[in-house]
Structure 1
Amino acid sequence: MGAVVTAVIAIAAVVLGWITIEMACKPCLETGRRAMDRALDPNYDPDSPTNTTTGSGGASANEPLLGDLSASTAPPAKAI
């Protein structure tokens, strides 16, 4: 019985850890997933000037696969 309880606690810890990472890194993960979706799309042609393919994430056709993450819309953090 103790092994079952230990296994349930370990699985719950892994699930909570995964949720924490997903929430903490959400903007970066969304950008990466959108880039992977477009890169793996057989209909996406980066050389085509009139690319009409828009992924399920709503990425525009002119957006680079990995955007500039330094240009964030969030205000700068205050120094302590």
Structure 2
Amino acid sequence: MGAITGAVIAVVGVILGWITIEIACKPCLEQGRQAIDRNLNPDYDPDDDNNAVTAPLNPAPAASSTTTAKTVS
């Protein structure tokens, strides 16, 4: 009877540990699971993402608003 009690306590401990990790690391685990689901999806095309960066890679330099005037003497 002692072996069964020990096994039940061990299983309950593992389950409670798993639940604790799931609750504590929920945001990180959700992002990882979404990434895995995307990578395993054969219909996923990263070119179809609406979150793609649309800014130019080499933007034109902004005009300087602080100009110094030279005085001629």
TM-score range, shorter chain: 0.5 to 0.7
**1:63/1:29 Cα in 2 relative to 1: closer, same or farther (>3 Å)?**
farther
**1:20/1:28 Cα in 2 relative to 1: closer, same or farther (>3 Å)?**
same
For structure 1, list consecutive stretches of 5 or more residues without a partner in the other structure.
Answer: 52-60, 65-80
Larger radius of gyration: 2
**1:63/1:38 Cα in 2 relative to 1: closer, same or farther (>3 Å)?**
farther
**1:25/1:17 Cα in 2 relative to 1: closer, same or farther (>3 Å)?**
same
SS in 1 for 2:19: helix
Greater helix percent: which structure?
2
Residue 8 of structure 1 aligns with an amino acid whose one-letter code is V
Residues 7-44 of structure 1: per-residue CA shift (max 9 Å, x gap): 00000000000000000000000000000000110001
Alignment match, 2:35: 35
Aligned residue pair count: 52
Q: Partners of 1:42 and 1:8 in 2: how far apart?
A: 41
For structure 2, list consecutive stretches of 5 or more residues without a partner in the other structure.
Answer: 53-73
Relative contact order higher in (CA < 8 Å, ≥ 6 apart) = 1
Residues 51-70 of structure 1: per-residue CA shift (max 9 Å, x gap): 2xxxxxxxxx3458xxxxxx
CA RMSD of aligned residues (A): 1.5
Q: Partners of 2:51 and 2:25 in 1: how far apart?
A: 21
- Give the TM-score of the pair, scaled to structure 1: 0.60
Deviation for aligned residue 1:45:
1.5
